[in-house]
Each structure stands twice: as C-alpha cells, then as structure tokens.
Amino acid sequence: MKKTGAEIFVESLRLEGVKTVFGLPGGVVLKIFDVLCQQKDIELVLTRHEQGAAHMAEGYAKATGKPGVVLVTSGPGMTNIVTGLADAYMDSVPLVAFTGQVSTDLIGNDAFQEADNVGISRPCTKHNVLVKDVNELAQTIKEAFYIAMSGRPGPVLVDIPKDVSIAKAEFKYPEKVNLRGYNPTIGGNKHQIKQAAEEIMKAKKPIIYVGGGAVFSDAADEVRELAEITQIPVTMTLMGLGSFPGTHPLSLGMLGMHGGYWTNMAMHHSDLLIAVGARFDDRVTGKLSEFCPEARVIHIDIDPTSIKKTFHAHIPIVGDVKAVLRQMNVMLRSMDGNPAEMKALRSPWLKQVGEWKKSHPLTYKQGDKITKPQFVIEKLFDLTKHEAIVATDVGQHQMFAAQYFKGNRPRTWLTSGGLGTMGFGFPAAIGAQKAFPEKLVICITSEGSFQMNLQELVVAAEHKLPVKIVLLNNGCHGMVRQWQDLFYEGRYSASLLGNMPDFVKLADAYGILGLRARKPAEVESVLKQGLKHKGPVLMDILTDPYENCYPMIPAGGAQHQMMLEDPPELKLAKKGGAHKKKVDEGEGVLPA
Amino acid sequence: MEHIISVLVENKFGVLARVAGLFSARGYNIESLSVAPTLDPTTSMITIVTIGDDRIIEQIMKQLNKVVEVLKVVDLTETHFLDRETALIKVHTKPEHRDEAIRIADIFRAKIVDSSPSTYTIEITGDVDKVEALINLLRPLGIKELIRTGRIAISRETSRTDSPRREPALLKT
C-alpha cells in the first residue's frame, strides 16, 4: 500500500528507533505534524523557539549518544535552528534536522516563508539534502541518520517540500545505505599504532590529551586503561571532560586558556603528546609556535582533516579512538614493561607535575559578604558528587564549572565548546532530562546566557522535567567584563547588564520553584533545598561581579605564560577605585 | 605552488556549490574551475586549479575527501599529467591586419571559427603557455573579447618510476 511522504517520514523515524522529536510546527510541515499526532511511538516536545529545539536535541544526543532529532518549518523555522546546527557541527554532535520547504513548484519564487535551507545550512552541516521526490524520502532519511552517527558525528539536514510530504509512494525502508563516496576509516593503521606504542614505552615526560572524540566513541574505559598501564597523566579539553575521571590521581583536569597551571606546564614540558580525539583548537594551544616545543606528537582522530590542520603530528593515526586505543593497549601490554618498572620510569615526571600542582593550585578567597562563583560550584559538586549530568552555558561560569566540577563519567558534561553558544545550556539540560527523566540534571548558567533561551522554562514545567538551574548571577557578561578589565582598561562597553528581571518571580510566572541566595551563608541551604525539590527549580545565586577566572592564557599567548591572578593595577583599582565603590554601594552591576 | 586537483563527484545538484563553498569558507583560492559529466553519467569531474603550500594543499585534499558526494580526489601535480585549455579570442582586424591575424593563428595551429568584416574569432587549444603566448601576440591587433574554459587535466599512461609524494591513503578508492 502506498503511503504519503508524511507517513513515510514518521514510519522511517520509528524504524530508526527515534523516541523523541524536538520541534515547532508551521505551514509547510502541517501534514507531518498531522501524522505525528495520530501515533504514540514518537513523542513531540513542542519548544517555544526553534533554537531551543536544536539545543535540546543536542543535549539529548550528547547525553545518550543517540542522534537528536529536530523538526521545524521552512523559512524562519529553519533559520532559527542555524545556531544549533553550527554548534553541533563544531562539537561533532549527531543531529538530524528535518526542515519543511515550500512546494517544489514554488522553490525559487520567493514564496511565503521560503528560504534556501540547503544553501544556508551547507557550511554548518556535515551533509544536507533537499528531497525532491517522495520516492527518495526513505532512502534519504536512512542515509541522514547513518551520516550523522558514523565517522566523526555531525548534524545532517533533510529539507522536505510540502508537496513531497503529501505525495504518495510505496514504502520500503532500506536495510542499508550505499554511499560510495562516504567510508569513514575505523581501524587505525597497525604499523603506526605499533610505532606509537613504542614511543609511549620510552617517553620520559608523556602526557595524554583527550578531546570530545573519546566521549563520542565511548572510549572512556580505553583511555583509562591506557593511562593506568602506562602511568601517564591525562588532561582533557573542555569537550573531553568526563572521558577520564576528574578525581583520578592521574587526572590533570582541563587544559588550555583556563586550564590548571600544572596542566599547561606539563603540556609545555612534555616530551610526548598523545592526542586522543582532540583537534588542537586555539583555546587549547595558545600561541602555536610555542606550543609543546619539546614534544613528539601522536595524533589519533577519526577525521583526517583534524590531523596536521593546525599543529604537526609525528605519528598520525586516522581511526576511531576506541578501536585504535584497544589495539594500542593490547600492544602496550605485550611489550616487556612491568607495572613497577613503568611506575619507576614515570615517577620523576609525575612528581614534577605534582609539585606544579602544589605550588599553584586553583584558588579563590571566599569572604562572608559576597559569594564567589567558584564557591557555588564547589558546593554543588560536594552535594551531588558524580551523580549529576551537568549542562553549562558559555562564559565565566562555564570555565569555573570546568575547573571545579570534576565529573567522572562521559556524557555527563554537556557544554558548547567550539562555537561557544550562549543560550545552549538550559535547553540542552531539558533535552538530557527528557532522555533520562530519573537522573539528576543540573544546568549551570548565568543571567546573561540564561536570558537567551529562557522561554523554554515552560517546556520544563509542561513536561515536568526536574532540571535544577543554578544561575550564577553576577549582573554582567563576566568573561567580557574580565577581558575589558584586563585588556581595555576597565571600560565596560556593553558588558554590564543593568536592568535585570527578578528571576524568582520569573520562575514563578512559569510555574517553577524559584529560590535566591544573596549571601554566601545562604548558598548551601538554597542548593540543598533546590536539589531536594521534586520539580524543576531555578536558583538565583548572586555572585561577585568582579571575580576573574584564572589561570588564564591571554589570547595569542604561549601556554606556559599564564596569568595567575589580577595584575597589580587591577588589584589597586579593585581596592580603592571604581570597582570597590560600586561593590560597596551596591550600585552598578549588582542586582538590586 | 600551483596544483591541479581532479575531483570525481556524484552528478547531483548542489555538489558544485558544496565544493566551491568549501574553498571560500576556508579561504582557499580557486584559479580555475571546470565541470562536466564523465563517461558514467552519474558522476561528474571537477578540475580545480589552486595555489597553496603543502599544508594547505593537504588540507584541501582532505576536506574534499570528507564531502559525502566526493568519490575520488587526485592531485595531478603529484603525477605525470596533461593539461589543456581552450580559448575563443575575438580580434579586431583592420584590413591591413587580416593577413597577420591568419598567420599568427597558423603558427599556433589555431582555427579561425568565425569571421566578420572587422573581426576574426580564433579558437585555440593547448597548455596554458601556448594559449597565453597566442593571446600576447594577438593583443597588439586589439582583442575585442576573450573567453577561456579553464583548465582540464588527465594523468598520463606511463610507467615512469618516480613515485607520487603523497600517501595513497589520502585517496578514496
């Protein structure tokens, strides 16, 4: 029997195992939504903005490892998901976005709500297709899911014109894809893996540098095995956090612009860098010409374009991180080193790294007047330990969370790394909570980022998704303000937010519990109360507007030349200058 | 250094935009571009002439390979190859220059494919040096219009011993 395009769409999604679709209807996708509401296998989460749908799908995908699915209409529906697509493309998140399109006979006529969906999304998707014939719909959907999930994952957009969703065709879902131009390399080159293993055995100051690739290929166990049998310390990129336990003795935490002093020093002095599913982003390397000057480089990545793109690699290995590490670990075990010998070989290096850590740990001073953001994150970590999935937004709070929330498991750290999308965190938390209704999902955000997608509060309320929003409210775009203090002589151009909504009342308006902590002494009780609450909750925590995030590698600086505290002139300004006056009088950036 | 890259792609709409967009998005240069279907009507061959150092060319090759509809990428500059270009040159021919124009065309084995009382249109096919040399010789006569196809290239069937520098792993097979 023939089916309509809309029926083929829904049936194909069902066969792909899709349970949840995030989206918003519109004129040209009415037929699809009409079929969706007449079945029970796939649930539609109606978001209040298409951008929210895209980030929810990202959160869902990052937390589960399954593709996130978005369904929106043509024109503005599609353009509103562009940020989500670009974010997913940068961070290799498997998304399949279905967009409506005007009927094929109207395409190109500037029809109502028409946009060149495929043209607009081309540079920010892994692949995209306009389906012009209903007979090709099932095959295209099959390929879209396959491309999104295989190789280096990424977003795929399928554009479905209105008449294609209405037209009928015989439905047979293809069992396999046949893409002659697409064939990701999985197993690495044996010879190169062996060469890498040999280098690892003899290196004196090696370091493992893990990125998001290890999370996506589910290689946490393999990374841990590699580190433990070779006694090599592990640092993670912002995207790689969780791929190695943050509390493990060999963990060095995050590296890069706001990484630990000991981490960046270890990178700088290493003689062997083992890059695992990481791409040498500029926020990691700082000044490239002075990055890891003494290190031989082993680079494992499934995406050949990531290798030698910005930094050289002596031993490039193209392949899936998990598959490559498995082979490498077997080789390493068979080589004639015993654990005691290994420990002895590495111990001077580990001792040195330990000394760096001891001499320059992460620090902040919590007084009794105003809450430090670091204090909140530390408390939150103490209260939840490793049970939580954490989604963050972008800015200072994100860096503090990366430094102080030492997650132990992959897929529990959801953040926008590459694109740095403010407004990502809250919808991402909703997506993760939708996937895991029973788990504790925390959104660490700030007043700046949160206001970019706060309309989705109603989704949390409607679907009874108990997301815990910890809003570090410092009344300003903290990271922008920090750069202005450090590099623009304290001229706060557009970084102070001035008028601020009352977030507790805002939560109330959406039918959500709102709590506030004005003083450091109130933080713990608010966090406890919020975490205990059964439903969604927004905790508005007023924090120091002038706290800066350190260590910091200034943009373009070398990785070992970190700023560890406010420079003297800034300290002086804070003591007697405009800063102090503002803080003392409670004016300016502090919420009333 | 100049490289001639052959890109075999699926013959579908949007593929050229994807390949061209890749160059513009990453700041790579396209010196010339030619596209046409191959013997197999489901595929097209895109010939791109580009300029870049080894690192950039390596990235271009890898990025092209990453495109789903790209079936094969070959840097012909790494092998022995033939390249050709066709140009149509419309030259002003005052009565006293008409013989001269024919003589120049003859020297280059070019053909006069259209003639009017005041112009000749000359067709030339050859490598870039030949085409440019002809254009330079015709320039004093006054070129009214010039159109060039961009270069196409094909590898030579020889059994010379020099091996290509690039790893074969870069090529999709």
Is-contact A449 A422, C-beta < 8 A? yes
Closest CA to A589 of A556, A547, A559: A547
Q: How many residues does chain B have?
A: 173
Phi-psi region of A405 (alpha: psi -120 to 50; beta: other; left: phi over 0): beta
Q: Give the fold, CATH level 3, of B83-153.
A: Alpha-Beta Plaits (3.30.70)
At which residue do the structure tokens 């990424």 appear? A154
> Chain A interface, mutation test: which of B68, B69, B166, B172, most A Cβ atoms within 10 Å?
B68
Q: Is the peptide bond before A536 cis (omega within 30 degrees of 0)?
A: no
Q: Are strands A513-517 and A537-542 parallel, antiparallel or unpaired?
A: parallel
Nearest by CB: A123 against B14, B21, B170: B21
Give the amino acid at B58.
E
Give how far A360 is from chain B: nearest CA, Å: 38
Domain A373-585: assigned CATH number: 3.40.50.970
The encoded tokens of residue B171 equal 């090529």
What pLDDT shows up at residue A581? 56
Spatial separation of the C-alpha atoms in residues B101 and B94, rounded to whole Å: 10
Q: Which residues of B touch A304 (CB under 8 A)?
A: 62, 65-66, 170
Name the residue of chain B whose CA is nearest to A181's CA: B71
C-alpha distances (whole Å) from A88 to each of A59, A419, A541, B51, B100 are 10, 9, 30, 31, 63
A162 as an active site residue: the answer is yes
Give the CATH superfamily of A190-359: TPP-binding domain (3.40.50.1220)
Q: Are strands B43-51 and B32-37 parallel, antiparallel or unpaired?
A: antiparallel
Three-state secondary structure string covering A47-95: CCCHHHHHHHHHHHHHHHCCCEEEEECCCHHHHCCHHHHHHHHHCCCCE
Q: Which residues of B touch A119 (CB under 8 A)?
A: 17
Residue-wise pLDDT tens for chain B (173 aa)?
Answer: 899 999 999 999 899 999 999 999 999 999 999 999 999 999 999 999 999 999 999 999 999 999 999 999 999 998 999 999 999 999 999 999 999 999 999 999 999 999 999 999 999 999 999 999 999 999 999 999 999 999 999 999 876 555 555 444 444 44
- The residues, ordered by sequence, that sit 6+ positions from A31 with a Cβ below 8 Å of its Cβ are A4, A5, A6, A162, A165, A166
The encoded tokens of residue A245 equal 């336990």
Spatial separation of the C-alpha atoms in residues A472 and A401, rounded to whole Å: 11
As its CATH architecture, domain B2-80 has: 2-Layer Sandwich (3.30)
Strand runs labelled E in A204-295? 206-210, 234-236, 251-254, 272-276
CB within 8 Å: B14 and A179: no
Q: What is the DSSP letter of B164?
A: P
Name the residue of chain B whose CA is nearest to A156's CA: B68
Nearest by CB: B14 against A118, A179, A318: A118
What pLDDT shows up at residue A339? 73
CA dihedral (B86, B91, B95, B101) positive or negative? negative
What pLDDT shows up at residue B159? 60
Do B2-80 and B83-153 come out as alike in CATH topology? yes
Give the amino acid at A256.
G
Spatial separation of the C-alpha atoms in residues B82 and A432, rounded to whole Å: 56
Does domain A2-170 bear CATH number 1.10.10.60? no
What pLDDT shows up at residue A556? 87
Give how far B152 is from chain A: nearest CA, Å: 22
Q: Distance between alpha carbon A484 and the CA centroid of its chain, in Å? A: 26
Q: What is the DSSP letter of A568?
A: H
Nearest by CB: B68 against A181, A304, A305: A181
At which residue do the structure tokens 């950039």 appear? B56
Do A2-170 and A190-359 come out as alike in CATH topology? yes
A38 as an active site residue: the answer is no
Spatial separation of the C-alpha atoms in residues A430 and A466, rounded to whole Å: 9
Helix (H) or strand (E) holding A299, with range, is strand A296-301
Is-contact A267 A298, C-beta < 8 A? no
- Domain positions in chain B are 2-80, 83-153
Q: How many CB atoms lie within 10 A of CB A292?
A: 23
- Domain positions in chain A are 2-170, 190-359, 373-585
Q: Crossing angle for the helix pair A568-576 and A478-487, nearest 10 degrees?
A: 110
Nearest by CB: B59 against A119, A189, A305: A305
Coil, strand or helix at B40: coil
Is-contact A279 A212, C-beta < 8 A? no
**Could you tell me which residues are beta bridge partners of residue A444?**
A392, A470
Question: Which residue out of A31, A142, A162, A322 is catalytically annotated?
Answer: A162
Backbone angles phi, psi at B32, to 5 degrees: -150, 160
Residue B16 sits at the chain A interface (C-beta within 8 Å): no
Per-10-residue mean pLDDT, chain A, length 592: 96 98 98 97 98 98 98 98 98 98 97 97 97 97 98 98 98 94 93 96 96 97 95 97 96 97 97 97 94 97 94 96 96 80 90 96 94 97 91 98 95 97 98 98 98 98 98 96 91 90 97 97 98 97 95 92 90 68 50 36
Spatial separation of the C-alpha atoms in residues A528 and A531, rounded to whole Å: 5
Complex-level ipTM: 0.89
Give how far A182 is from chain B: nearest CA, Å: 5
Is-contact A154 A112, C-beta < 8 A? no
Coil, strand or helix at A329: helix
Determine if the pTM surpasses 0.90.
yes
Q: How many CA atoms lie within 13 A of A531 on its CB side?
A: 20
